[in-house]
Amino acid sequence: MVNSIVPGSAGSTSALGLDTRYAKPGASQAQRRDDATTQGDRVELSGASIAAARESVRAGLAQIHQALVLGQDAQTTLVKVQEIARNGGPQADLDALLGAFKTRVQAVLADGGTLAGGQSAQITAEPGATPLTIPGVDLRLGGDVISVGEDAQATDPALTANAQKSLETLQDVMSRLLDSARSLEAHQGFLGAAEGVTNVRTDLDADSARLLALQVRQGLEAFRGSIANVEPQAVLSLFRA
């Protein structure tokens, strides 16, 4: 009976190593500890550790999606700023436009969207692995991304150029956020596959365990390109033959 699937030995290229330390608990045996530990290239998984990682990934995706929505809002705002500057629009229109965007930014920050305020997010994407860092994106007016300040003047000759520079910087930032979102979505996929393995019957024989590991390993191959930038080594090592 196998309760834990671990990588094969260093000298094997085809056999999956099986952790035989966890026999079916008897009267004198302690229950298996309900967490994830790392020993060398072995990561032991539990339902609780995988669920915690999935929640961390979900929270990270929520932060990224908030920043992306706000970034799209910023793009629309900056295009309108350019129109006002080019057409000699009234200062009142510019003030109203920038004031409305500032209010939306504040609402996102108040809702816990710290990533959009420039604070990096730490994501536990794999049980037992070093957390991933998603760099913060400060989308507030007058920041590193949006150089147009909330007190911008419609008559400022540099306003059009500042808005254009902000649009270009914002485009690069949003591309990076999209890459991070795709990577975390890939993590969601193989965490779901790993969770499926931990939820199967605990009295699998060795052949069944090898088959399950093979199926999950094949599923992870499909994600390898998407998650290359975030180095998901710990989970992939679980299913390395």
Using one digit for the tens of pLDDT, what is the confidence trace for 42-87?
Answer: 445 567 777 888 889 999 999 999 999 999 999 999 999 999 999 9
Question: Where do the domains of the chain lie?
Answer: 50-179
Mean pLDDT of the chain: 74
Residue type, 30: A
Residue 132: burial class (beta carbons within 10 Å; 0-12, 13-18, 19+)? buried
pLDDT tier for residue 183 given thresholds of 50, 70 and 90 = confident
Note the pLDDT of residue 43: 47
Instruction: Please give the DSSP secondary-structure letter assigned to residue 6.
Output: -
Q: In one letter, which amino acid is 158?
A: A
DSSP-derived secondary structure letter, 140: S
32 and 3 Cβ atoms separated by less than 8 Å: yes
pLDDT at residue number 209? 53
